[in-house]
Chain A
Amino acid sequence: DVTSGQVVDPASQGAADKDAVDPENDFQREMSFYRQAQAAVLEALPRLRKLQVPTRRPDDYFAEMAKSDQQMQKIRQKLKSKQEAMERSERAKQLRAMRKYGKKVQTEILQRRQKEKKNMLNAVKKYQKGLSDKLDFLDEEQTSSQGNKKGSASQWIKKGPNAKRRYKNQKFGFGGKKKGSKWNTKESFNDVSSFRSKVAHNKGPGKGGKKALNKRPGKRARQKMKSRAR
């Protein structure tokens, strides 16, 4: 009693695939069922079409479905909620990653700024101390950072500190901590620029009528005199 169009269909599937299906492996098993169904459908639909059995439902055909609309709504809700949860977790992850990256970039920028400031100050100090009379560092800074905006400012900086300030620096030295600074270093020891030979050997012109005649002879001389006198 298998009338034409009575829907019966053995599906053929490669025997090799079947043997490899491990019943414990859920995914593989379900996939094999799926493939079997697909093969059956692909074989059956042309035959049905030939027998003029309709397979596609027209869009205006409304009839009762096996699952109620309410049920389908529930299913749709569940799917949506699952998707949303996934999206939320994705977004959270991305945010975290971005924040991390942002923080890194920020610290880098701050460090760079600090470094630049330090370099600038060092260069300025160098110039002030007279070690380098070139003001190139300013030029470099300007060209790299701001350009023409600070042109007038750079010109003003070229003159350096005030004339009064310069005189005082020369006389009293530069500001800053003096206590911990080194003295009697190699350089200062070997620096004999403040040696006045005439002063040391008492050869220079006297400061106008010195009581030189009252000079007492030294110890050695006195002893010699003493011993000679005896």
Chain B
Amino acid sequence: GKWRNKERVLIFSSRGINFRTRHLMQDLRTLMPHSKADTKMDRKDQLFVINEVCEMKNCNKCIFFEAKKKQDLYMWLSNTPQGPSAKFLVQNIHTLAELKMTGNCLRGSRPLLSFDPTFDKEPHYALLKELFIQIFSTPQYHPKSQPFVDHVFTFTVTDERIWFRNYQIIEEDASLVEIGPRFVLNLIKIFQGSFGGPTLYENPHYQSPNMHRRLIRLSVAAKFREKQQVKEVQKIKKKGSKVLIEEDPTEVVFETPAEEKPVEIQLVKPESKPIVKDKKKLRKFQRKKQKKFFRTE
């Protein structure tokens, strides 16, 4: 048939990403035949430059990975000319190459997308759902796509985060094996414009990773400080509150000094005690003697 749905997704990243992120990016590129790659963006340029890059590459969607501090990974999903964009914090990345992901699928086959019912309940989730649909679904009759449907993407909302999984469909009775990759998206903000513009929605449950680390450190410090304080309180208790009792004159009344003993100087060494090698044996003999005595009585 005729390829009508001209969706194109630009997938690229900033500098300073680690191997896992790079592999994730490559995995997404293989799973989505309607994607395009680009070189790493320099940190110096501002984000709206990305829109120009997308226009040059003739893409209308974008997935941009941004790595900060070599630890945190942020992902931007955006509809480039003027559409909304969303920023996420990505966690728990597992790539295609992990040996526990045993499934496999055709390269470029079209996926089935499965969403949690929660996505229909809130407006921001509905917006995200639409964004996911447009980005992740392979257009029909795309030249690089395979016509079969043999894997399914699941998006689930659990614990205020969006969990992504990819399963291979083995049998018609829906027996599944995980292909990977898998990651968790923590929504930060939704903007009206692409990579900028007024904020449409801000996630109240979101805590920046810096804040998270800071809280951990504070809690550890607080525990330590508490221990110190307890120690100090104990010290004070020990020192203080020592009541001084006045001298009682009547106390000395009954005191009679003891008689002085004559000083004895020992000139001869005292006899040494018989060395008892085994106290138990001695006791044993004693007991036997007693028994005998008892018996003869």
Contact = CB atoms under 8 A, between A and B. Distances in A.
Interface of A: 1-3, 5-13, 15, 18, 21, 23, 29, 32-34, 36-42, 44-45, 48, 53-57, 63-67, 71-72, 74-75, 78-79
Contact of A41 (B112, B140, B165): B112
B148 A36 contact: no
Nearest 4 pairs between A and B by C-beta? A40-B114, A23-B159, A41-B174, A11-B114
Contact of B158 (A23, A39, A65): A23
Contact of A66 (B31, B99, B140, B163): B31
A40 B148 contact: no
Contact of A64 (B107, B116, B140): B107
A65 B105 contact: yes
B149 A53 contact: yes
A6 B149 contact: no
B6 to A, nearest CB: 9
A2 B133 contact: yes
Given A18-B117, A63-B106, 17 more contacts: A1-B134, A6-B137, A7-B137, A9-B113, A12-B117, A23-B159, A32-B158, A37-B152, A39-B114, A41-B169, A44-B112, A53-B149, A56-B148, A57-B106, A64-B106, A65-B105, A66-B104
Contact of A8 (B4, B133, B139, B148): B133
Contacts of B133: 2, 8
Given A8-B113, A9-B112, A21 B158 contact: yes
A36 B116 contact: yes
Given A36-B116, A38-B176, A53-B147, A66 B110 contact: no
Contacts of B106: 57, 63-66
Interface in B152-189: 152, 154, 156, 158-159, 163, 165, 167, 169, 172, 174, 176, 179
Interface string B1-30: 000110100000000000000000000001
B83 to A, nearest CB: 13
A45 to B, nearest CB: 6
B216 interface: no
A205 to B, nearest CB: 55
B115 interface: yes
Nearest to A13: B117
A37 B104 contact: no
A65 B96 CA distance: 12
10 contacts: A7-B110, A8-B113, A11-B114, A11-B154, A15-B117, A23-B158, A65-B104, A65-B106, A66-B104, A72-B104
B167 A34 contact: yes
B102 interface: yes
